[in-house]
Structure formats: C-alpha cells, structure tokens
Amino acid sequence: MDIGFGIYGALMVLCATMTYHCARTHDISRHRAWAIRLFALTIGSWLYRMEYGLWYMAFGFLGRSYTFDGWFDAAMAFLFYAPNLLIAEFFIRASGQDRGAILGYGAAAVVFTASAFITLVTISFTLGVWGPRMASVLLG
C-alpha cells in the first residue's frame, strides 16, 4: 500500500504543480487539462471508499482482509484512481480537439454518467451506512 499510495501522492503533487505553473504562465488550455487531472485524483480518495463499499456489498470479504493484505486490497492500492484519470483524459482529449459534436457529447455523457453514479452511491451509503452510524455516535 505504501508504494501505491506513494505513487498517488506523487501524481497529486505533479498535477497540482503543473496546474499552478500553467496558470502562472497564462497557458490556460494546459492549466485546464492539469486542473481536470488534479480533480480526478482528488476525488479518488472519496471513490476509494465507495469502491470498497461496493465490493463488500457484492462480494463480502473476497480478496480483502482487516490488515489490507488481500489481493483486492493490493489491487486497490494501485488502481483506485486509474478509472478517474482515464475518464479525465478522455474528457480532456475530446474537448481539446475539433472532432465534431458527437465526440464532445460522448465525453459529456461519460462525465454525466460517472457523476450520476457517484451521487447515487454516495446517497445510498449515507442513508444506509454512514448516516445511521454517525447519528448513533452523535446521539449516544
């Protein structure tokens, strides 16, 4: 996990640095692309929890352990942010090139679908798991 999360942290620093650098040099299109990548990585930590919750709902503890040394745990340490970056790259490349409205609409549809999915899963976990647990702790 140290290596996987170390790479994640290094990518966060790289994206933040490049976002800042491109803004300072007034390279707005590159600034936008790096900011999109940074956002995709930033929500990775939130989605990491979502992905573990969905895995648990579907497969229980298959590939997982309480000490985070199962095969699923090892894969998650390296891959939890990869889908976010793929979607971000798809969006950046589709909006940065003049390939017609269909590709632009396709990128927008992917981003909208991913956003809707994240929203629904967050609401589901909040109402079904996190909310009741937080309320029980707060209310004693």
Domain extent at residue 70: 2-139
Q: Which amino acid is at 87?
A: I
Q: Which amino acid is at 122?
A: T
| pLDDT band at residue 79 using 50, 70 and 90 as cut-offs | confident
Find, among 7, 10, 28, the residue nearest to 19 by Cα.
28
Residue 29, token pair as written in the block: 């299109």
Is pTM beyond 0.85 here? no
Share of the chain above pLDDT 90, in %: 36
Tell me how many domains the chain contains: 1
Residue 55, token pair as written in the block: 């895995």
- Express each pLDDT in 27-61 by its tens digit: 999 999 999 999 999 988 888 888 888 888 899 99
